[in-house]
Amino acid sequence: MSATPQIARENNKLRPEDCCVHDWYRFVLSFPPHLVRDYLERFKVTADAVVLDPFCGTGTTLVECKKLGIPSVGIEANPMPCFATRVKVDWKADPDILLKHAKGIAAAACKRLTVGGLEEYQNLPLFRAGKPKIDSHDLRRLPRETEELLPTNSTSSATQRR
């Protein structure tokens, strides 16, 4: 029995639970991550195998394999999607360093806006009196039930469950 047209259309869309990883850079030739998960399950691919994606684009297959603990190798000739793939599969980012860097960027932006005579930015929610307002408690997190699905020690020590 074939899928109804509505279901078929939905199968080719990015699902909300995949947006945090796969939606920061859109690639015209990409496909949704749930299809990769479906194929890995159908073909019974486990951590004993190595998945090769010879045209990996922005790394959807590599990310989904990594999430499932399946080794994978990707090849991409185009520099931009290759860069996107490298960013998406590098999970060693230190959130404290990222936050410090973001604050530095915001401070530099504030200074440039002020020098350029554009002080209206101070009324925006992100800024207070010319200084960036970034509170680590406002950072986005995975929902608790999703976070519990992560393999132990798969995230940085700053974000690991206690």
| Residue 162, domain member (yes or no) | no
| Domain coverage including residue 78 | 5-89
Same structural domain, 102 and 126: yes
Same structural domain, 9 and 67: yes
Mean pLDDT of 83-92: 90
Same structural domain, 15 and 82: yes
| Residue 154, domain member (yes or no) | no
* pLDDT tens digits, one per residue of 59-79: 999 999 999 999 999 999 999
Same structural domain, 73 and 140: no
Q: What is the DSSP string of 8-53?
A: HHHHTS--GGGHHHHSSS--TT---HHHHHHHHHHTT--TTS-EEE
Q: Which of 89, 105, 136 is the last residue of a domain?
A: 89
| d(C-alpha 7, C-alpha 45), whole Å | 25
| Residue 25, domain member (yes or no) | yes
* pLDDT tens digits, one per residue of 98-153: 889 988 988 888 788 878 777 666 666 666 544 555 565 556 677 778 777 777 65
Q: What per-residue confidence (pLDDT) applies to 125?
A: 63
Percent above pLDDT 90 for the chain: 33
Residue 73 pairs with which residues in a beta bridge?
Answer: 52
The pLDDT-based confidence of 37 (bands split at 50, 70, 90) is: very high
Residue 27 has pLDDT above 70, yes or no: no
- Count of structural domains, the chain: 2
| CATH of residue 9 | 3.40.50.150
Same structural domain, 24 and 73: yes
The pLDDT-based confidence of 161 (bands split at 50, 70, 90) is: very low
Residue 160 has pLDDT above 60, yes or no: no
